[in-house]
Structure 1
């Protein structure tokens, strides 16, 4: 059985995700990941009692022991202050302490300077376009693996 953390301020996270994104899809995604018990950890950034940043790390179905990062969000009024980078660094630290790999789909211009690598993800087979796929974690090799996401993150 996978370890399952308690939901981190579920109503506040829901409100943050709905404010940070155009639709409620990310809030619904987190709710589904929680219900499926696929979340490994949730990282938050708070300032003066206000939730300003959030990230979810969920267990991949394959390879075993790998994580995926989705979503990463910052409150609209707090964007541009480095909060997303701080949340991202906390997620990377959490995974590194446990010797876990993380995959992310996103903008390479944002994620590569913060510890992710497109080159390391070059040999991964994913159900998503590889030009946005990046990898972070132990080593420097480009592992060969087929990625199987949590059900909530699989293409529909």
Structure 2
């Protein structure tokens, strides 16, 4: 598998996000995260030079050293092939290598089957519905923390 040329990468991510979410909001969010230098990493899945899966990990403002997983996208015509699971596995592995915690806002069943725990997120407070928060990362505890997302999420 050849890496994507760096010059076309942002355009390909924009196109994938717009197709996956039927709109510009997530592409605008990622552009803002890049501009603010809040992205820790961008995870991609590609086949034959075509970007099929994507996930952004950005630095939370609080707790210090935590990551936010969003957005996660799979090309609509390539869904139901396990690409989303592969992208999530790569994201979790990247954070685990660095001993970092990831928070995600999403479907408990979907993310729960992919290494995230809603029980560990039970004591978190956030500006989003806490019943959809999940954690992945070191430890087994349920930390009591207030989540403060990157500024780009406030503008999204």
Offset at residue 22 of structure 1 (A):
2.1
For residues 126 and 76 of structure 1, do their structure 2 counterparts lie closer, same or farther at Cα, with a shift above 3 Å needed? Answer: same
Give SS of 1:42's match. Answer: strand
Contact 1:121 1:134 in 2 (8 A): yes
TM-score (norm 1): 0.93
Offset at residue 155 of structure 1 (A):
6.9
For 1:97-147, what per-residue CA distance to the aligned partner results, in whole angstroms no more than 9, with x for missing partners?
000000000111110000111110000111111111111100111011111
After TM superposition, list the pairs within 5 Å mapping 1:56-71 onto structure 2: 56-71=56-71
Stretches of structure 1 lacking an aligned partner (at least 5 in a row)? 1-5
Give SS of 1:114's match. Answer: coil
How many residues align? The count is 151
What's the RMSD between the two structures over aligned residues? 1.5
Stretches of structure 2 lacking an aligned partner (at least 5 in a row)? 1-5
For residues 26 and 79 of structure 1, do their structure 2 counterparts lie closer, same or farther at Cα, with a shift above 3 Å needed? Answer: same
User: Which residue matches 2:87?
Assistant: 87
Contact 1:8 1:42 in 2 (8 A): no
For residues 37 and 56 of structure 1, do their structure 2 counterparts lie closer, same or farther at Cα, with a shift above 3 Å needed? Answer: same
For 1:32-71, what per-residue CA distance to the aligned partner results, in whole angstroms no more than 9, with x for missing partners?
0000100000000000111000000000000100000000
Offset at residue 154 of structure 1 (A):
2.8
Q: Post-superposition, which runs of at least 4 consecutive aligned residues in structure 1 deviate over 3 A?
A: none
Contact 1:117 1:135 in 2 (8 A): yes
Contact 1:45 1:54 in 2 (8 A): yes
Q: In the alignment, does 2:121 pair up with 1:100?
A: no
